[in-house]
Structures are given as C-alpha cells and as structure tokens.
Amino acid sequence: MADKIATRAAYGEFLVEEGARNPDLIVMDADLSGSTQTKKFAQAYPDRFFNAGIAEQNLMGMATGIALSGKTVCASTFAMFASGRAFEIIRNSIGYTGANVKVCATHAGITVGEDGASHQTFEDIALMRTIPGMTVVSPCDAASAKILLKQVVDMVGPAYVRLGRAAVPVFYDEDAKLELGKGYELRPGKDVTVIANGVMVPSAMEAAEELARDGIDVRVIDMHTIKPLDEEIIRKAAEETGKIVTAEEHSIIGGLGGAVAEFVSRECPVKMAMVGQKDVFGESGKPDELREKYGMTTGDIVDAVKSIL
C-alpha cells in the first residue's frame, strides 16, 4: 500500500479526466465543491458545472432534468444530505424515471470524524439500495474509486457512489480488474469468509493475516458493489467456508451485512457475524479513535471471526 489518498480526492481527479473524454458530462454540487472536490471540474469546465446552492432537493431535481435531456450528470454533496435530505427526490425523480444521474456522495461514515454525529451517515447505503434500479457502490481506495467511477459513468441509469473524507491507503493498482456488480476475492481461505467494503477492506486483510498466525484460514472478498450484489461469489463462499463475517463503515442494519444476510438466509444459510456501526449515533472525534470506540477496526474483525468459529 502506497500513500494515503481520500476517495473524494480521487473523485475530483476523475471528473477532470472524464470531462476531457466526455463532452456530455455535467457536474453539479450543493455549495460544497471545495469539500467534495468537484471544484476541480468547475475550474476546468466552468460551462459544464452548476452549483445549486444549499438546496439538496433542488440539486437532485435539476440533475434529473439535465440527465433526461441527454446528458450524464454527477451530482455531489455530503452523504448525509444526499441520502437523507434529498431521498424523496432521488427516489421519485431519479429512480422512478431511470434518469442518468450519478449521486456521488462524500463524507460518509464515522471517518467524517470531527464533523460529528449530524454529518456521520450510517444509513445511506440502506436507503439507496431500496430504490429500484439503483446501483450502489462503496470503493475502498483512490484507485478502485477511479476504476469503478468510470464504469458508473459509462453505464446508463442511476447510481449512488459512496466516498470518504479521510485519506486512506491506496490498496489497489490503477489497472486492477474490478467490475461493477462483481465481488473481488483478495485472499483465498477455507475456514471463514470476511466480506468487506470501503475503509474496512484493508482492515479485513490485516485481520486475515493476524488470524493466519493462529492457524485460521480466512477468505477475504471486497464487495465494492452492494447493489447489484454478487450472489454467485457469496454462495461459493458460504458453501466452501460455511461462515461469513461482514465488515463495513455503515450501520449493521440495512447495509452490506443486511444485503448478504438477506441472500444467504434465502439461498444458503450459514452462521454470520457483522462488524459495523451498531444502532447508535456517533460523535465528534478523530477518525481512528472513533473506529476504535464504535467497533470498526482490525481487532473487531478478528473478534467477530473467532466468535463464530
């Protein structure tokens, strides 16, 4: 792993690169372009950037109209405001019409840190994946963010991309073979499977290495796409390892853990444990300290694995 880069920073770089390739790309923001990094696109292509102001519902409505006129729109604000404040508009305007809007939301999860409980959304994946036809993506680093964002922009239809505030290790190579809707097996294993996404992917790999020293063989899967969910790779993991732990920077209610549990309970029941935000709000603090307090660390994954063995 190389230097640390925030996925929101990778998003800003991607927009400028994609803007040169795609003259039909429009970028919009809700007065947070410095934080979401859309300012880079605004500086490069000012005639294709629109600031809706602090009016998130209006942002999504405007994005829908522009998309239905034939453009591809990336609409950005903080994840709390995109998924929470603008949910109805995303559902009824973007989702219902199948508009080609990519809601690229930054500052998700506990690693928002000092911004505190009002800005730390743990509900966004749960909300977005309930919308019919919505693709939901949570990349773990800058390299995978760019790879998956390119595929999101190239596909036709609505998508929600979850991006972070904090700088995180670059885990993948820039030419990694990642594909929307397909989980990526990072490590083989026969005793238990850890399915992770976002900032929890490097932690899952660290946990697997730690558990290997205890003779526990852990398979690790990066489930960067929560919807559509890669049911084939989950079924294979369930049948071959018999136990699954999910790890995410999101509530254990309705997120990756919920999606995996919904599938295995129907098709291939196995023992499961979930690492993520419990049914509580966060608080202001340093990202690493908050992950420790709220149970989203390497050690928490290790403990979860041992609890179901």
Q: Which of 56, 11, 52 is nearest to 146 (CA)?
A: 11
For the chain, count helices (H), then strands (E).
14, 14
Strands 49-51 and 25-29: parallel
Of 17, 18, 56, 206, the active-site residue reads 56
160 forms beta bridges with 103, 136
Whether 18 is catalytic is no
How far apart CA 98 and CA 124 sit, in angstroms, is 19
Q: Measure Cα distances from 299 to 253, 255, 294, 302 in Å.
A: 21, 21, 12, 5
Q: Which of 35, 40, 1, 3 is nearest to 18 (CA)?
A: 40
How far apart CA 30 and CA 173 sit, in angstroms, is 32
Q: Which residues are catalytic?
A: 56
